[in-house]
Amino acid sequence: MLGIGMGGFVDGILFHQILQIHSMLSARLPQTSLVNVETSMVWDGLFHAMTWTMTAIGIALLWHATGKRDVPRSGRALLGSILAGWGLFNLVEGTIDHHLLQIHHVVERFGMSGWDYAFLGSGLLLGVTGWSMIGASRANRPDLH
């Protein structure tokens, strides 16, 4: 959950706000009128509220897990979990928003492009890397098998 939230924050802050290469509805509402920009801003705010909620749930789950004996307490496991969640975010958000619904694309001015597939590829890479790190962390703790 922390990874889903953090991945969403990176997406929203970097792509939506700093680089301004898309917004939540930029493929559906041309950003050429104040009304469309304001509507997109509301949807971006809802997106950020969702990422904040995922992060808050992740913190609560992490707090709950700290008392369990079978949970590996290592930086590798924590980072691996965050990367796995971030990868899941990129795969789900990229598949739904970029490909199925086409409500926005990674670089909106290009429309559907290689950037949308690269976003999915980054999700796969982050997910595999994260799960590998979690597995390596568990392998170092024989008492968890």
Q: With pLDDT > 70 as the criterion, what percentage of the chain qualifies?
A: 96
**pTM score > 0.85 for this model?**
yes
* Confidence class for position 44, pLDDT limits 50, 70, 90: very high
Q: How far apart are CA 133 and CA 135, in angstroms?
A: 5
Residue 128, pLDDT > 90, answer yes
| Domain map (residue ranges) of the chain | 1-13+77-137
Going through the chain in order, the beta strands assigned E by DSSP cover none
In 3D space, the residue among 40, 18, 28, 24 whose CA is nearest the CA of residue 93 turns out to be 24
Q: How far apart are CA 57 and CA 2, in angstroms?
A: 8
Longest CA pairwise span in the chain (Å)? 60
